[in-house]
């Protein structure tokens, strides 16, 4: 799986003015255009079938001697291929299939034109081959093939066209004119194709940059700068979504409030830089607690944090709270002035209910439980989590 594309890397790539996308950007470019290109390719198939078979009228008018052969090639070979390709493109296949089959459109038509051309030997008949040049120009500019497939198709068309011209009995002047016209048309149409594709890629890169910038701005507005956890604004937004989505029936929900024990003493003793580092490490322990994307870890303010657990029962919430308490204690961050423990600890209050109650009601209950945990001696969960493996740890000292 490819790594997410960073805004910095994308801006550096745009500044480099490179036209060759990195593998990640190329994949993103293909994913972005896949639906559009498949629909466009289906439209081109339909238009090509109509235009190509109307072109058969020219065979009837200009080359009646080979009209039967032209009809067989039109209606038994090329048109069925167009139809089958159109049906496959409805499934939005991969680039290799989509552009691989699309590149054979022009090859089949050019081959058909040159076969009919070689079957006719009159002076006027030699002008028939110029229709192949029109096909190559149309394919390179209108088909929207990837540049690699356009080069492949043009090269194959050039081989078929030039081989038929150079081995034909037409005068040297006709051969020189035909070869020069084909090569010029191929180069100019490929240049136009290159410029069009480069414009599409640049437009995609700019749109992608705008999306990433918008995402970063939204992310910054919803994240705490120090810890990377969600902030109060994001908490309010998520709570609103949860409560609106679960009006009936009510959904279980739990809130865990916690703060760092005696953090002011820690800050006064070790200094504010150490305090910030402590908060970041505790936030790291908290960020590992959510069970999935539905859960939300929040820096509620200062040294206070919150976990919002939609769908969680009381047992799940208490287990989560105890896991956080142990994770912080195990980090063994020294806290010499703490009257509770020689290492940094946290107190946690848990409240559970459902969305029939308001978010503010459950939040107030969690805050009350946190206050009770502090009064009971800190470094504990209230209500207490009764583990069958290990009883709750007794506090070493009384709370102050």
**Residues belonging to the active site:** 303
Residue ranges with strand state E in 76-199:
none
Q: What is the spatial distance between Cα 214 and Cα 73, in angstroms, rounded to a whole number? A: 54
Which string of b and e fits 323-335 if b means at least 16 CB within 10 Å? ebbebbbeeebeb
How far apart, in whole angstroms, are the C-alpha atoms of residue 26 and residue 39?
Answer: 20
The single-letter DSSP state of residue 94 is -
Token couple for 30: 């293909």
- Structure token digits, residue 365: 């209950």
- Please, what's the b/e burial string for 77-96 (b: 16 or more CB within 10 A of its CB; e: otherwise)? ebbeebeebbebbeeebebe
Is the separation of the CB atoms in 310 and 242 below 8 Å? Answer: yes
């Amino acid at each position: 799986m490819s790594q997410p594309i960073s805004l910095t890397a994308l801006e550096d790539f745009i500044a480099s003015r490179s036209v060759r996308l990195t593998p990640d950007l190329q994949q993103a470019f293909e994913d972005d255009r896949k639906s559009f290109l498949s629909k466009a390719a289906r439209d081109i198939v339909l238009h090509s079938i109509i235009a190509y078979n109307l072109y058969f009228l020219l065979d009837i008018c200009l080359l009646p001697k080979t009209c039967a052969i032209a009809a067989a090639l039109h209606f038994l070979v090329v048109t069925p291929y167009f139809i089958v390709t159109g049906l496959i493109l409805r499934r939005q296949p991969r680039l290799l299939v989509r552009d691989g089959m699309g590149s054979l459109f022009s090859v089949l038509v050019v081959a058909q034109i040159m076969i009919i051309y070689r079957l006719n030997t009159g002076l006027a008949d030699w002008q028939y081959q110029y229709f192949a040049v029109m096909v190559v120009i149309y394919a390179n500019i209108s088909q929207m093939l990837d540049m690699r497939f356009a080069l492949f198709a043009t090269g194959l068309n050039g081989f078929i066209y030039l081989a038929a011209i150079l081995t034909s009995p037409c005068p040297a002047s006709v051969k020189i004119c035909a070869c020069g016209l084909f090569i010029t048309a191929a180069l100019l149409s490929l240049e136009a194709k290159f410029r069009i594709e480069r414009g599409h890629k640049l437009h995609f890169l700019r749109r992608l940059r705008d999306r990433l910038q918008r995402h970063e701005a939204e992310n910054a507005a919803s994240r705490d700068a120090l810890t990377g956890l969600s902030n109060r604004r994001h908490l309010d937004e998520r709570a609103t979504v949860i409560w609106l989505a679960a009006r009936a029936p009510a959904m279980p929900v739990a809130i865990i409030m916690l703060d760092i024990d005696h953090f002011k003493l820690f800050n006064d003793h070790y200094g504010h830089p150490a305090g910030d580092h402590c908060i970041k490490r505790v936030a790291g322990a908290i960020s590992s607690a959510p069970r999935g994307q539905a859960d939300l870890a929040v820096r509620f303010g200062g040294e206070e944090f919150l976990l919002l657990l939609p769908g969680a029962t009381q047992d799940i919430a208490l287990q989560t709270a105890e896991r956080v308490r142990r994770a912080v204690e195990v980090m063994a961050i020294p806290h010499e002035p703490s009257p509770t423990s020689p290492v940094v600890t946290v107190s946690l209050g848990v409240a559970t209910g459902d969305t029939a109650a308001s978010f503010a009601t459950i939040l107030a209950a969690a805050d009350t439980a946190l206050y009770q945990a502090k009064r009971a001696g800190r470094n504990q969960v209230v209500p207490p989590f009764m583990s069958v493996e290990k009883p709750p740890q007794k506090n070493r000292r009384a709370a102050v």
